[in-house]
């Protein structure tokens, strides 16, 4: 069913890695929460536009995670959707494969950050003329930031990328800061991490290895922060601020996120695409934090880009 796209690029190898990564991450998160993720396996038969399959692993109302999902999808289509060919107009109309693992976790405790991670591959065309690239990264969205958490998250990302060139972490860190920015708000979504896309410059083997390194680093980057913050006391004030800041997450995902746009434009599976949205959100008209408050510190000390590593 899944064959080599060219003499070098193996869709089977990529798919196998992604399914294994999904399973390893879910096992680690289940150990942290204590509640199992439920599995929603799906298959989409050929319908003239899109075909493929996937596996959504979802948790709701857990001891730690209010909502979260770790999704795998592998879709094929006869024509690239606009969001995927925007930077490569010569590929518009070509057949494609896209596969990836994408996760978003929304903890209940406002002192535990929301987190996002994604690794993916696109293959356009077939045979010797196939064009492929990898993408991915991870970013952290704290509500009540801690310097040591941000430093740990970024240091783990930097260490994962180090074998692939000293330029990769600073370049992908800057790319993340620029990408996860709400232009209409003039503010960052969180404290960033790493982000890369359309990546093939190291050749297939090394580009795939770098993508694997990013995916494999996720649990080491996030779980120590979870363990450090999950028992921090909180009250209604912190929950209200968390819900307010979650609104920024929704705005970004629905307005700017390329993965969300790709999924919707390619008639993807809506439940899996919108799994990233938090369960409880609030918007307030022209709200501003009180100067010097813990909430204000997020805006002054954490959202502006910093050299965390």
Contacts 24+ apart (CB under 8 A), 259-268: 259/100, 259/102, 259/118, 259/120, 261/83, 262/81, 262/83, 262/84, 262/98, 265/81, 265/82, 265/83, 266/49, 266/50, 266/75, 266/77, 266/81, 266/84, 266/98, 267/49, 267/50, 268/50, 268/73, 268/75
- Give CA–CA dist 122/133, Å, rounded: 6
Listed in sequence order, the residues at least 6 apart from 297 whose beta carbon sits closer than 8 Å to its beta carbon are 144, 145
What stretch of H or E contains 187? strand 187-188
Q: Where are the alpha helices (DSSP H) in 10-167?
A: 11-33, 82-85, 147-161
Pick the catalytic residue: 111, 116, 152, 154? 116
- Give CA–CA dist 260/276, Å, rounded: 9
Comparing C-alpha atoms, which of 138, 276, 252 is closest to residue 187? 252
**Buried b / exposed e along 263-293 (16+ C-beta atoms within 10 A):** beebebbeebbebbbbeebeeeeeeeeeeee
116 catalytic per annotation? yes
Comparing C-alpha atoms, which of 278, 212, 293, 209 is closest to residue 245? 278
Count of helix runs (H) and strand runs (E) in the chain = 10, 9
Catalytic positions: 116
């Amino acid at each position: 069913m899944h064959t080599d796209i060219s003499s070098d690029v193996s869709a089977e190898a990529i798919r196998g890695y992604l399914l294994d990564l999904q399973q390893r991450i879910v096992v680690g998160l289940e150990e942290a929460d204590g509640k199992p993720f439920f599995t929603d396996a799906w298959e989409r038969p050929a319908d003239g536009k899109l075909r493929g399959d996937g596996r959504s692993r979802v948790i709701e109302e857990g001891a730690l995670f209010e909502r979260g999902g770790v999704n795998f999808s592998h879709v094929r289509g006869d024509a690239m959707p606009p969001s995927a060919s925007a930077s490569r107009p010569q590929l518009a109309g070509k057949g494609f494969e896209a596969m990836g693992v994408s996760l978003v976790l929304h903890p209940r405790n406002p002192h535990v950050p929301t987190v996002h991670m994604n690794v993916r591959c696109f293959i356009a065309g077939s045979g010797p003329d196939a064009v492929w690239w990898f993408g991915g990264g991870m970013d952290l969205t704290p509500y009540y930031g801690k310097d040591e958490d941000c430093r740990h998250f970024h240091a783990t990302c930097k260490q994962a990328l180090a074998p692939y060139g000293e330029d990769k972490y600073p370049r992908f860190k800057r790319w993340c800061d620029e990408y996860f920015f709400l232009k209409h708000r003039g503010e960052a979504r969180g404290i960033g991490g790493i982000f890369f896309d359309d990546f093939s410059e190291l050749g297939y083997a090394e580009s795939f290895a770098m993508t694997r390194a990013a995916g494999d680093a996720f649990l080491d980057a996030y779980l120590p922060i979870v363990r450090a913050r999950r028992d921090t006391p909180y009250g209604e004030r912190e929950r209200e601020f968390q819900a307010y800041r979650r609104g920024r997450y929704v705005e970004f995902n629905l307005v700017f996120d390329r993965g969300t746009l790709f999924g919707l434009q390619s008639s993807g599976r809506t439940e899996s695409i919108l799994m990233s949205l938090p369960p409880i959100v609030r918007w307030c008209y022209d709200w501003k934090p009180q100067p010097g408050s813990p909430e204000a510190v997020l805006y002054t000390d954490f959202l502006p880009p910093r050299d965390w590593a």
